[in-house]
Amino acid sequence: MTAAQRVLCPITMGLLLQSLFLLLLFLLGSCLHPAAAFPKGCYPSEEEGLKTFRCSNAQLTEVPRDIPNDTNKLYLDFNQIPFLPRYAFRDLPLLLELDLSHNAIARVESGAFQGLAEHLHSLDLSSNRLVSVSKDAFSNLKAKVNLSNNPWLCDCRLQELIRAVELAADSSGGIVCDSSTLEEHVGKAFLQVIANTDFCNVYKKTTDIAMLVTMFGWFAMVISYLVYYVRQNQEDARRHLEYLKSLPSKQRRSEESSTISTVV
């Protein structure tokens, strides 16, 4: 072995050991920090002593499944999530704040917030595509809810929803009728509209009127049939009597008595 080789050999071994050491650290880091499993653009942090998980503007099309179950604040805003399925957040028992604003949410299934009723105190669904949502989707939820800037259909269903949830402060003015069962309400704030209009009562009256119209229609059909039936029988009886008058008297009497007994 030459002198140069004797000098290079320890250096090469040192570099090799250093590379193996760095590789080992990387593997241990991957095991200890499972952040690599998170969706692209999502990361955990700690804010004001609360464990936070941020997925803002991460181009998500669904609620992530690998959210740490000790998360206190979850930000899923500015994504492309189209709907919230049943039990979407059931593995987050410590969640306090949930931000779903600026998505494409058009449907919220009943039970989507199942398991959050006890702790969640803030839910932001503003700036989505909500038109109509059942109040059952927010059953037992105690959180303050922001429903502003959605294309709401103002009807009895929305009225029941508003009465079932606690609206976030200063958000009620943003709940505007994009469409309505009553055309004159389009473009107006919903809380302003229901101050003078009870949508559920209007719906009930409309239903009652429809039932009355239907019943009257059936009644008119029955009366018309009875009138037709009586007139038809009278016409048949008149023709039969005229026929009897044209017969010889003996035969006529016999058939008249038969006709009278039949009529009786």
DSSP state letters, 170-198: T-GGG-BEEEESSGGGTTSBHHHHTTT--
Q: Are residues 133 and 111 in the same domain?
A: yes
Q: Are residues 186 and 212 in the same domain?
A: no
Q: Are residues 188 and 202 in the same domain?
A: no
Tell me phi and psi for residue 255, to 5 degrees: -75, -30
Highest mean pLDDT (candidates 37-46, 147-156, 196-205): 147-156
Range of the domain at 209: 198-234
Nearest alpha-carbon partner for 73 in 89, 57, 58:
89
H/E stretch holding 50 reads strand 50-54
Question: Mean per-residue pLDDT for 162-184?
Answer: 93
Q: Are residues 80 and 206 in the same domain?
A: no
Q: Are residues 88 and 202 in the same domain?
A: no
Predicted pLDDT at 260:
45
For residue 107, give both structure tokens: 């449907």
Higher confidence at residue 26 or residue 80? 80
pLDDT at residue 74 greater than cutoff 70: yes
Residue 55 lies in a domain: yes
pLDDT at residue 209 greater than cutoff 50: no
Residue 219 lies in a domain: yes
pLDDT digits (tens, 9 = 90+) for 126-172: 999 999 999 999 988 999 999 999 999 999 999 999 999 999 999 99
Residue 154 lies in a domain: yes
Q: Are residues 95 and 62 in the same domain?
A: yes
Q: Are residues 46 and 149 in the same domain?
A: yes
Residue 127 lies in a domain: yes
Q: How many domains does the chain contain in total?
A: 2
Strands 83-84, 97-99: pairing is unpaired
Q: Are residues 56 and 111 in the same domain?
A: yes
Q: Which residues contact 230 (CB under 8 A, 6 or more apart)?
A: none
Question: Mean per-residue pLDDT for 13-31?
Answer: 50
Residue 24 lies in a domain: no
Q: Are residues 101 and 223 in the same domain?
A: no
pLDDT digits (tens, 9 = 90+) for 81-95: 999 999 999 999 999
The model's pTM = 0.65
Q: Are residues 140 and 191 in the same domain?
A: yes
For 247, half-sphere exposure in the C-beta direction (CA atoms, 13 angstrom radius) is: 14
Q: Are residues 73 and 202 in the same domain?
A: no
Q: Are residues 106 and 223 in the same domain?
A: no
Residue 185 lies in a domain: yes
Q: What is the dihedral of CA 117, 123, 129, 133, to 10 degrees?
A: 30
**What single-letter amino acid sits at 214?**
T
- CA torsion through residues 194, 197, 198, 202, sign: negative
Question: Mean per-residue pLDDT for 233-257?
Answer: 61
For residue 122, give both structure tokens: 């803030």
